[in-house]
Amino acid sequence: MNQSLIEDLRRIASYAVTRLLMLFITVTIGVYLTIWIANMGGKLDELREVQIRDQTAEAVRADPSFFSLPSDEQQQLVEQQVQLEIKRLRLDEPFINRSIDYLWQGMILDLGRAENMSSDSGSRQVRDIIVERLPPTLLLFGTANIIIFVTSILAALALSRRYGSPADRAIIALAPTSAAPSWFYGIFLILIFAFIIPVLPAGGMVERPPPEDKLLYALSVLEHMLLPLLAMFIGAIFVSIYQWRTFFLIHSSEDYVEMARAKGLPGHLIEQRYILRPALPPIITAFALTLIQLWNGAIILEQVFNWPGLGTLTFQAIGLRDTPVILATVVIYAYLLALTVFLLDIVYMILDPRVRLQGNN
């Protein structure tokens, strides 16, 4: 017994390392592709060069100490400074060299200073900006995901016990409403609860100015979270319940469940041991997959609710063409996705009894 446990752990560890390596390579390739897209295959650098030239020329022209210089000397000075700046940003090298640099910096999230953006605390370090925006996103989407997941599983179990009931029919009828994304319901919710009956804030994360008191601050955040949470809840809950209910129904028509019933086991025991236990790996998979989808949808929902998270940051960074920040957000997304996939793999492996069976053979 003990030996087989060690064997299991060894297998899990070696599997984990292989998976981690694979995922790391995957993330690297993904990030590198993004670097190319974000720089328009190097074309963005030409734009930046023009921008540098304009700014330098403007600076030299506006500086009173250069007023007395003849215009060709001014021209020379501008050219000199432009070349220096180009050297500093290494724009004179082929893009491929810099792209490798970007990749390395991106992967270790050491992207230096943002070009145009700054964090709310005033720092221009990309890392500070990201670190500031990550918690709101995790808070909102983590909470929403857990609420949706737990509610839908419980509701689905309850419905699968008496399918065909009016509640069950209602869920089937309502499932197609999940075709609309959460931001779509968000707009309706803002319309109703922020404008027609103004009881909740239309956007943002905390009231302005933020309350000093910790408790009041938390309450204010909670108040601002209600509408986006509700939007995500409405957008996902019905289809989620529907799918789980169908899933449980299929599982509860298995022979071994019939057998358990025939033995006269009580309902909750059947659910725990014969329906939920074998269904656990797919449930975990589905949970992780919805997580991935939610990361993707975050950018629009955050934009609609003006939530100061990663999604809004991505959007702002793209608008300002701030390559380091764009890159950093994509890297963070990629890492979050990879982490989700990795955890999924590991949990799956621990939960799936076949892994242990294979080990014993």
Partner 1 sequence: MTKYLRLVSRYPSAAAGIAIITTLIVMSVLTIIAIPYSKAIDMWRGGEQWQDNPINASPAWSNWFRDKKLPRTIKVASNPADIVETEIGGVRRALVPIEFEYNYDGFPSEVNLFINTDSEGPQPFARITWHTPDGREILISGRALRPNERISISQDRGLERRLGAIPHVALFKATNSDLALRGRYRAEVEVLLFDPNATVTAQLLSYGRVHGIAGTDHRRRDLVIAMLWGTPIALAFGLVAAVGTTITTLIIAAIGVWFGGRVDATIQRITEVNMILPLIPILVMVGTLYSTSIWLMLALVVGLGIFSSGIKQYRAMLLPIRESSYIEAARAYGAGNRRIIMRYMVPPVLPVLIPGFVSLIPAYVFLEASLAVLGLGDPVLPTWGKVMNDALSQGALYHGYYYWVLGPALLLMLTGLGFAMLGYTLDRIFNPRLRQI
116 near partner 1 (CB under 8 A): no
Give the nearest distance from C-beta 337 to partner 1 in angstroms: 5
273 near partner 1 (CB under 8 A): no
Residue in 5, 37, 50, 100 binding partner 1, rule: CB under 8 A: 37
What is the rounded distance in angstroms from the CA atom of residue 213 to the CA atom of residue 220? 10
The smaller minimum CB distance to partner 1, of residues 175 and 279, is found at 175
Give the nearest distance from C-beta 241 to partner 1 in angstroms: 13
Give the nearest distance from C-beta 314 to partner 1 in angstroms: 5
The answer for residues whose C-beta is within 8 angstroms of residue 116's C-beta and 6 or more apart is 320, 321, 322
- For residue 310, the SS3 value is helix
* Six-digit token string for 16: 């984990």
Crossing angle of helices 353-360/2-38, nearest 10°? Answer: 120
Give the nearest distance from C-beta 128 to partner 1 in angstroms: 20
Binding mask 278-297 for partner 1 (x = CB under 8 A): -----------x--x--xxx
C-alpha separations of 308 from 53, 129, 188, 190, 304 in Å: 34, 11, 20, 17, 11
Contact in structure between 82 and 60 (CB atoms under 8 Å)? no
Residue in 35, 38, 279, 328 binding partner 1, rule: CB under 8 A: 38
Half-sphere exposure of 134 (CA within 13 A, CB side): 14
Give the nearest distance from C-beta 127 to partner 1 in angstroms: 19
Q: CA torsion sign, 165 to 170 to 173 to 174?
A: negative
Contact in structure between 311 and 301 (CB atoms under 8 Å)? yes
Residue in 106, 136, 181, 201 binding partner 1, rule: CB under 8 A: 181
180 near partner 1 (CB under 8 A): yes
C-alpha separations of 26 from 21, 166, 337, 339 in Å: 9, 47, 11, 12
Binding mask 120-159 for partner 1 (x = CB under 8 A): ----------------------------------------
Contact in structure between 355 and 349 (CB atoms under 8 Å)? yes
Binding mask 224-253 for partner 1 (x = CB under 8 A): ------------------x---x--xx--x
Counting residues that bind partner 1 (by CB under 8 A) gives 58
Q: Tell which positions 43-102 bind partner 1, by CB under 8 A.
A: 44
198 near partner 1 (CB under 8 A): no
Contact in structure between 137 and 302 (CB atoms under 8 Å)? yes
How many C-beta atoms lie closer than 10 Å to residue 307's C-beta?
24
Residue in 333, 344, 345, 349 binding partner 1, rule: CB under 8 A: 333
- Main-chain phi, psi angles of 353, to 5 degrees: -65, -20
256 near partner 1 (CB under 8 A): no
What is the rounded distance in angstroms from the CA atom of residue 233 to the CA atom of residue 152? 10
Binding residues vs partner 1 (CB under 8 A)? 22-23, 26-27, 29-30, 33-34, 37-38, 40, 44, 163, 172-173, 175-181, 183-184, 187-188, 190-191, 194-195, 202, 242, 246, 249-250, 253, 289, 292, 295-297, 299-300, 303-304, 314-315, 318-319, 321, 326, 329-330, 333-334, 337-338, 341
